Amino acid sequence: MVDRRWFLHALGTAVLGWPCVVDAQAGSKIYTVGYLGPGKAANARDPDSPLAILRRNLRDMGYFEGRNLTIEARFAEGQPDALPARAAELVRRKPDVIATPSAGLAELLVHETRTIPIVALSAGQLQAEETVKSLAKPGGNLTGMQIHSPETIGKRLQLLREMMPELRRVAVLRGVPFDGPGFGHYRDANDAVAAKLGIRARYIQFERPEELEPLFEQMAKAQDQALIVWGNPHLNTYRKEIFELTMRYRMPAVYDVRGLREELLVYAARYEDVYREAAVYVDKILKGANPGDLPIGQARTFDLIINLNTARSLGITIPQSLLSRADEIVQ
C-alpha cells in the first residue's frame, strides 16, 4: 500500500513544478517568418493561397502562431509597383527567414538583404539569380524550390501541337516583369521546341488588366492560333479575365500553374508537393542551416489537367493520346 504522506508530498511537488514547465515553454524561442506576396492580404485567407499552405506545413512541423511562431506578411495589395517598398519594410523587421512564392519577388528581397535567409516556395529559374552560384550549392542567402526547367517549358508547346496538329503560330503571355532573370531561359527553351515543330512563337506582356483585351485583338490580327500562359504573381491575379478573353476570342490556351477549373489545358507542378518541400527549407534554416548550403530543389511531380467542357465550347476534340495521359479530366 502506498504511504499517504509520501503520495501527498509527491503530488505537491508535481503541482509546484507545473508553473516551471509552463514558464519554460513560454520562454522558448519564438521564430519570425517573413512573407512577401503579390496579391492582397485578404486573399491569403484562401486555403489554397501560398501563405495558407505554408502555415499548414509549418504547423505540421511543430510551429504554431502565438506559441513559437510569428508571421510578418506584406502584400502588393493590387499595386505591383509598391512591392520594392514592401520588401524593404519586411527586411527592416529582421525576421529569421523570409518566404516568397516567386523568383521575381525573391530578387527584390535579395536586393534588400544579403544576410537574412530567403526561401522561394515555387519559383521559376532560381539559377538565373545573380547570387545563386549553382543549384547544388547556391552560396548566398537564397534557396528554395523551383518549378520550371527547359524540359517543362517546352512540354507545354508540345501539348498544344498534339492537341492542334495544324498549329503554326502561338503567342506567349506573361505579366510584368517580362525581362526578369529567368525569362531568357524560358524563351530559349520555348524557341528551341518551336523551331523543331515549325511554330512561330511571339512574346507579349501586360501591366494593367485593361491592356488585356487590346492584346487579344492583336493576337487575332496576327493570326495567333493558340496561347501559352506563363504565370507569375502579377499575371495570376488576372486569371479570370484572361480565361474569359480566351473564350471570347476562341483562343485555346495552356497554363503552367493551376488556376480556374474551367481552363482548357494545364500542365503544372503538383503544388502541394512543392510547398511541402519548401517548408522543409524554412524549418532547416530556423534550426540553424545555412541557406547557401541547401541545394535548390526541382519539382518532380506534374499534373496534366484537361477540361472537356471548355474544349467542346472551343470546338476542339482532345485526342485520345492526351486523354489517356491526363491526371485529371474535368467533364
pLDDT digits (tens, 9 = 90+) for 111-125: 999 999 999 998 877
For the whole model, what pTM was predicted? 0.79
CA pair distance 292, 280, nearest whole angstrom? 15
pLDDT at 182: 67
Better-predicted residue by pLDDT, 110 or 28? 110
Question: Which CATH code, of 1.10.357.10, 3.30.70.141, 3.30.70.100, 3.40.50.2300, is assigned to 31-147+270-298?
Answer: 3.40.50.2300
**pLDDT band for position 181 (cuts 50, 70, 90):** low
Of 16-25, 36-45, 139-148, 215-224, the poorest mean pLDDT is in: 16-25
Q: Does domain 150-269+302-330 have CATH number 3.20.20.150?
A: no
Distance CA 164, CA 161 (A): 5
196 pLDDT above the threshold of 50? yes
Instruction: State pLDDT tens for residues 289-308.
Output: 999 999 999 999 999 999 99
pLDDT confidence band for 165 (50 / 70 / 90): very high
Residue 56 pLDDT level (bands cut at 50, 70, 90) = very high
Taking the C-alpha atoms of residue 142 and residue 100, their distance in angstroms, rounded to an integer, is 11
Point out the least confidently predicted range of 45-54, 87-96, 295-304.
45-54
Report helix, strand or coil for 49.
coil
Confidence band of 43 (pLDDT split at 50, 70, 90): confident
- Predicted pLDDT at 3: 47
The reported pLDDT for the residue numbered 221 is 96
Does the pLDDT of residue 11 top 80, yes or no? no
* pLDDT at residue 324, rounded to an integer: 97
Domain with CATH 3.40.50.2300 in the chain: 31-147+270-298, 150-269+302-330
Alpha helix (H) ranges present in the chain?
A: 4-26, 50-60, 83-92, 103-112, 150-163, 183-197, 212-221, 233-236, 239-248, 271-286, 308-313, 320-323
280 burial level (CB within 10 Å; 0-12, 13-18, 19+)? middle
Question: Does position 183 have pLDDT exceeding 80, yes or no?
Answer: no
pLDDT value at residue 39: 81
Contact 262, 307 (CB under 8 A): yes
pLDDT category of residue 9 using cuts at 50, 70 and 90? very low
Q: Would you say residue 18 has pLDDT above 60?
A: no
What per-residue confidence (pLDDT) applies to 66? 93
- Average predicted confidence (pLDDT) for the chain: 88
Q: Is the pLDDT of residue 318 over 70?
A: yes
Percent of the chain clearing pLDDT 70 (strictly above): 90
**pLDDT given for residue 51 in this prediction:** 93
